[in-house]
Amino acid sequence: MPKLPLDQWVEAVVDWLGTNLGWLFDILSAAIGGTVYAFSALLHLLPFWLIILALAALGYRLGRWSMALLTVIGLLLIWNLGYWDNTMESTALVLTASLISIVVGIPLGIWCAANRTVRSILTPLLDFMQTMPAFVYLIPAVTFFGLGVVPGVIASVIFAIPPTIRLTLLGIKQVPGDLIEAADSFGTTPGQKLLQVQLPLALPNMMAGVNQTIMLSLSMVVIASMIGAQGIGADVYRAVTQLNTGQGFEAGLAVVILAILLDRLSQKAVGGKRRTRAGSFRRTAWITAAAVAVLIAAGITQWAMNRTGSDNEIAQQVGSEIIGIDPGSGLMKATAKAMQDYGLDDWRLVEGSGTAMTAALSQAFSQQQPIIVTGWTPHWMFIKFKLKYLDDPKQSFGGSEEIHTIVRLGLKNDMASAYQFLDRFSWQPSDMEAVMSLIADGMDPAAAADKWVDEHPDVVAKWTEGIPPASGQTIRLALVAWDSEIASTNVVGSVLEKKLGYKAELLQVEIGPMWAGIAGGDADAMVAAWLPTTSIDYYNQYKGSFEDLGPNLSGTKLGLVVPEYMEDVQSIEDLR
Ligand code: PBE
């Protein structure tokens, strides 16, 4: 039976939405981006000690001394470790996602309580939203909203809104029937009944939902950083890609502190002993809502102005952003250096991944919009799109490089045949590009590699001639999910399996863990060491714990890449 083309259907829908509802996404993007900007500007404007004092005072009011003390110690620790700014950045993201979830979620919950049909449609949808792995939302979010904090907020809202809806519904359902009857017998209108009987009684449940929503959106900050959201999540993600235990722990601790504070404060804010009169409660709620609305309006205006605020025309077009890839990569390091060399201080390098970068590029192409990305050759994007490298007169990105094959110590003895082949493996950039193109057009990487291997018997014969096949041993190949490395590693795996009798297991990891895996002997080989510059830090860090089998490809290139239709920019110097 043929496979249902579910993937293609989903992509067709997403494409259709992207082309036809672009204007709507732009409006949403401005509203969400502006709100995050407003919160983050406010949090950055106030000095850290003032924020700590204010929160400690709030903590004291809500939970007496222990709460105040916890607040002060926790926040001072974050500040002392140097994560204050990023923590505020993440707080802005969490506040925005929570605010949207509340504003959208509570009415939906009320609607569900009032209407059976709505409830029966929404309930399975909520299950779906909560159980679909959160990573999956990132993909359409990037297609619709580009890279940065906005798609992060969207993905967080989808993940975090269900508890608010569910518990609002539950709260209203649990209002005792006799109270409703009593209200009815007094002749209240449905509106009065809702506002004066149901909602006040449902409030504790609703707040429990809001509290969960806040915690869930906080849990999204690390995931959101994979598509360019700044903040403490990005510190965690960076630590993972670089295998930096100390930094990972510190940043993780900051997340924990933030979580505890948000949890306790939001829990105590409405529950507990604060039995204020309904009137004054309503007044406070209105004042808060009005203040937040003003703040957000200001944020949106400012955000829109910022995006076009530079005098450099190119900077205006792309919002002073360079779309990068994963933070541990050599390319990102080279780009950071280039930005320094060329004085691009007011530009921002957006962290993400290779996939997110190509998604942003495809999106820009479909609407012929300007974009600047970090790119490398060999890469299928140069075949699929008309692109150009920006000139690099200062040579910040270095010259052309080679990709080396690196194996663990002792492989020569343990897997002699594989070792011999890996030592011989070498090919041309055009070969690698051919495999990458097949994969980019939707072919499964392993199938694309098999196809290439079948179609190039002469090349493959040169690699394997005279090597005795093994008898089904498993060989572990480490790789990072860069398109170039996906292609090469799959080809190597295919040859090992089809021609040399091994069972190849591909381990997809981040760049730091890839090197550590080879050095520790957990992976047997990798074909992804760009040298002498791109991967040199890892090379030096693990020197002596691996064997370098020399280059498998030469003639690579790194740099800043733009579509050819951006005619008035030729060189990185034009960006200043
Ligand atoms: N790359 C591809 C990697 C090496 C291979 C250029 C994205 C990097 O470390 O930057």
Domain positions in the chain are 10-45+82-272, 320-575
Q: Tell the residue nearest (CA) to atom 1 of ligand 1.
A: 331
pLDDT of the residue at 65: 87
Pocket flag, ligand 1, residue 530 (CB < 6 Å): yes
Pocket flag, ligand 1, residue 329 (CB < 6 Å): yes
Q: Pocket of ligand 1, candidates 335, 355, 376: which has the most ligand atoms within 8 Å of its Cβ, to mutate?
A: 376
**Nearest atom within ligand 1 for CA of residue 334:** 10
pLDDT tens digit string along 491-529? 999 999 999 999 999 999 989 999 999 999 999 999 999
**Nearest atom within ligand 1 for CA of residue 333:** 10
Cβ neighbours, 10 Å, residue 123:
15
User: Which amino acid belongs to residue 90?
Assistant: S
Q: Pocket of ligand 1, candidates 432, 530, 536: which has the most ligand atoms within 8 Å of its Cβ, to mutate?
A: 530
pLDDT of the residue at 332: 93
Pocket flag, ligand 1, residue 168 (CB < 6 Å): no
pLDDT of the residue at 371: 95
Ligand 1 midpoint to CA 442 (Å)? 22
Residue with tokens 């957990």: 522
- CA 553 – CA 83 distance, rounded (Å): 41
**Nearest atom within ligand 1 for CA of residue 511:** 9
pLDDT of the residue at 273: 44
Q: How many Å separate Cα 478 from the centre of its chain?
A: 22
Q: Is 188 exposed, middle or buried (0-12, 13-18, 19+ CB in 10 A)?
A: middle
pLDDT of the residue at 309: 61
**Nearest atom within ligand 1 for CA of residue 530:** 4
Cβ neighbours, 10 Å, residue 454:
11
**Nearest atom within ligand 1 for CA of residue 528:** 5
Ligand 1 midpoint to CA 534 (Å)? 7
Q: Pocket of ligand 1, candidates 526, 535, 537: which has the most ligand atoms within 8 Å of its Cβ, to mutate?
A: 535
Q: Determine what percent of the chain is predicted with pLDDT higher than 70.
A: 97
**Nearest atom within ligand 1 for CA of residue 535:** 9
Residue with tokens 């694309």: 448
**Nearest atom within ligand 1 for CA of residue 331:** 10
Strands 387-389 and 546-563 come out as antiparallel
- The fold adopted by the segment(s) 10-45+82-272 is MetI-like fold (1.10.3720)
Residue with tokens 């002749």: 187
**Nearest atom within ligand 1 for CA of residue 534:** 9
pLDDT of the residue at 312: 79
Pocket flag, ligand 1, residue 352 (CB < 6 Å): no
- CA 21 – CA 26 distance, rounded (Å): 9
Ligand 1 midpoint to CA 367 (Å)? 27
Q: Pocket of ligand 1, candidates 243, 355, 485: which has the most ligand atoms within 8 Å of its Cβ, to mutate?
A: 485
Residue ranges in 456-531 assigned as alpha helix (H): 457-464, 483-498, 511-520
Residues facing 374 on adjacent strands = 560
Ligand 1 midpoint to CA 339 (Å)? 18
In DSSP notation, 324-393 reads ---TTSHHHHHHHHHHHHTT-TT-EEE---HHHHHHHHHHHHHTT----EEEEES-THHHHS-EEEPB-T
Contact 444, 387 (CB under 8 A): no
Cβ contacts of 180-187, under 8 Å, gap ≥ 24: none
pLDDT tens digit string along 416-451? 999 999 999 999 999 999 999 999 988 999 999 999
Ligand 1 midpoint to CA 331 (Å)? 6
User: How far apart are the two ends of the chain, measured CA to CA in Å?
Assistant: 58
Ligand 1 midpoint to CA 485 (Å)? 9
Residue with tokens 């390319």: 331
Q: Tell the residue nearest (CA) to atom 2 of ligand 1.
A: 482
Ligand 1 midpoint to CA 3 (Å)? 34
Low-confidence spans in the chain with pLDDT less than 70: 270-281, 305-310
Pocket flag, ligand 1, residue 331 (CB < 6 Å): yes
- CA 275 – CA 277 distance, rounded (Å): 7
Q: Which two tokens stand for residue 358?
A: 């190509």
Strands 387-389 and 373-377 come out as unpaired
pTM of the model: 0.80
Q: Which H or E run contains 403?
A: strand 401-408
The CATH number of 320-575 is: 3.10.105.10
Q: Is 2 helix (H, G, I), strand (E, B) or coil?
A: coil
Pocket flag, ligand 1, residue 482 (CB < 6 Å): yes
Ligand 1 midpoint to CA 486 (Å)? 12
Q: Tell the residue nearest (CA) to atom 4 of ligand 1.
A: 530
Residue ranges in 115-243 assigned as alpha helix (H): 116-131, 134-145, 149-173, 177-185, 190-193, 199-218, 221-225, 232-242
Q: Which two tokens stand for residue 278?
A: 């309904």
**Nearest atom within ligand 1 for CA of residue 376:** 6
3-state secondary structure 258-300: HHHHHHHHHHHHHCCCCCCCHHHHHHHHHHHHHHHHHHHHHHH
Ligand 1 midpoint to CA 353 (Å)? 11
Cβ neighbours, 10 Å, residue 309:
13
**Nearest atom within ligand 1 for CA of residue 328:** 9
Pocket flag, ligand 1, residue 376 (CB < 6 Å): yes
Ligand 1 midpoint to CA 325 (Å)? 9
C-alpha closest to that of 236 among 245, 130, 502 = 245
Q: Which two tokens stand for residue 292?
A: 């937040």
Q: Which two tokens stand for residue 124?
A: 């399975």
pLDDT tens digit string along 63-107? 788 888 989 999 999 999 999 999 999 999 999 999 999 999 999
Residue with tokens 């449902």: 202
Ligand 1 midpoint to CA 530 (Å)? 7
